[in-house]
Amino acid sequence: MATSNLSTGVPLLKSDSTRAADCLASCRTVSAAFGPQAKSRGMCLQSKLITLVRCLRISEQREVPSDNDSLDTDQDVSNSTFEPQSNGFPLSRMKLMTKFGRKTKIVCTIGPSTSSREMIWKLAETGMNVARLNMSHGDHFSHQKTIDLVKEYNAQFKDKVIAIMLDTKGPEVRSGDVPKPIVLKEGQEFNFTIKRGVSTKDTVSVNYDDFVNDVEVGDILLVDGGMMSLAVKSKTDDTVKCVVIDGGELKSRRHLNVRGKSATLPSITDKDWEDIRFGVDNQVDFYAVSFVKDARVVHELKDYLRSCNADIRVIVKIESADSIPNLQSILSASDGAMVARGDLGAELPIEEVPLLQEDIIRRCHSMQKPVIVATNMLESMIDHPTPTRAEVSDIAISVREGADAVMLSGETAHGKYPLKAVKVMHTVALRTEYSRPINSTTPNQLIVGKVCIIYSDGSRDVWEICLLFTPPLWPTP
């Protein structure tokens, strides 16, 4: 079975990468790796192209760049506020790090702040590898415009391909549209109604007709991933009456969870099928399927894609408590996973989320499938030009744990500083990747994973380059 390149969508045969991994991991000499004719390291360098194995990093490109080209498509980080400092970090290694680029991919959600041609070009130049279309917002017309612009960019820059990910809305409950944010204050009475088009200072619509039946008196409603919470006090035939526990600003189409419960909605809704067909027509690279509860959803979608002869990879979003008991089978059926921490943190105790993130990454590693870490990575940069220290640490931890990609949502969709957010994520990921300790006891032991191609200019020892750009994430047993 083929897996896919997060940056280009290029199919990569897992069997080929596994054979390459087994070969290189067991090699102790140059001749063992490159054949008896390669009796010296100098002869190895003559080949220019050295195929290495790097843990769960997908960097294969359609075209071979020239000797002077960087392996990655990202720009130099020299103009970034967050440029890695040379103090305690060898300058020569930092220069090589910048040249060969970042391996962790960046997924950017396209929205009002970034939907123009100019902004998509700038996002790509700053470090975007995947453009995400959030089908919970916007319509097919606006998303079609984004797809056309990304494809125009890809046609113009064939060596810097941006993949397209369509993120389904899924079986979720959302509040209705409001003309302006409604301020909820602690102790205030506030209502949710199944009547359509209601938006007042104390009542707003929801998009789910069985909402009243699914909630009970005493339930806790979590709004916008737990940013606000309300206690259910009573209900009528069409309205749920609540008291605000934790206040905030309620904006249009915010996600609603009932703590400890899931809505009785179909796994793939009618709207999802419309969006999936839209993705097939436009030949997107990935589907991110929301609120996957079991593997049947994945099999159903893959059967449909096969019937359409569509080469689209299925990324499952782990974001509901119902998915946890079926996690292994869901991941096995999928082509990759996304740790969607927002809704996951609303349905589970928040202290469980970091542990679950690490567990999902580890499971994906064992299956050699890519994994994306998403939600709240640079949330403060929606409104502020610099990140918090905790956000920087969050990105670094995700990279060190082995995430193949990290994702920006509101930061690039409707934030004030989308380009700065991408630049911060790029620089933190880049610096973190090359700070991992090298396992000196087994210098040629490379972790089995996807194939990564490194080009040698002949000026450095081949195995020094191996160690520099292919360090284990952690000591191998």
Annotated catalytic residue: which of 54, 174, 254, 423?
174
Q: What is the pLDDT of residues 52-74, one digit of tens each?
A: 333 333 333 333 333 334 333 33
CA atoms within 13 A on the CB side of 101: 25
Three-class SS state of 79: coil
Q: What percent of the chain has pLDDT over 90?
A: 57
Residue 50 lies in a domain: yes
Q: Are residues 453 and 388 in the same domain?
A: no
Structural domain contains residue 373: yes
Handedness of CA 397, 378, 389, 87 (dihedral sign): positive
DSSP string for 346-408: HHS-GGGHHHHHHHHHHHHHHHT--EEEESSSSGGGGT-SS--HHHHHHHHHHHHHT-SEEEE
Domain residue limits at 41 = 2-74+438-469
* 174 flagged as catalytic: yes
Which CATH number belongs to the domain containing residue 193 in this structure? 2.40.33.10
Domain membership flag for residue 67: yes
Distance CA 191, CA 205 (A): 9
Q: Same structural domain for residues 6 and 17?
A: yes
Task: For residue range 419-440, list pLDDT tens digits in order.
Answer: 999 999 999 999 999 886 654 3
In a domain, residue 82? The reply is: no
Do 396 and 444 belong to one domain?
A: no
Judge if 274 and 233 occupy the same domain: no
Q: Which of 102, 132, 369, 420 is catalytic?
A: 132
Please say whether the beta carbons of 273 and 217 come within 8 A: no
Give the confidence band of 104 by pLDDT, cuts at 50, 70, 90: very high
Per-residue pLDDT, 454: 35
Helix (H) or strand (E) holding 288: strand 286-289
Q: Examine the residue annotation and report whether 254 is marked as an active-site residue of this protein.
A: no
**Residue 185 included in any domain:** yes
Verify that 117 and 208 share a domain, yes or no: no
Instruction: Enter the pTM of the model.
Output: 0.69
- Local structure of residue 327 (DSSP, 8 states): H
pLDDT value, residue 58: 33
Q: How many domains does the structure of the chain reveal?
A: 3
**Which CATH number covers residue 335?**
3.20.20.60
| Annotated catalytic residue 277 | no
Same-domain check for residues 415 and 283:
yes
pLDDT in tens, 264-282: 677 898 999 999 999 999 9
Catalytic residue among 3, 73, 146, 375: 375
Catalytic: 132?
Answer: yes
Say whether pLDDT at 457 is over 50: no
Task: With CA atoms as reference, report the closest residue to 432 among 381, 477, 471.
Answer: 471
- The closest alpha carbon to 147, from 289, 308, 280, 304, belongs to 280
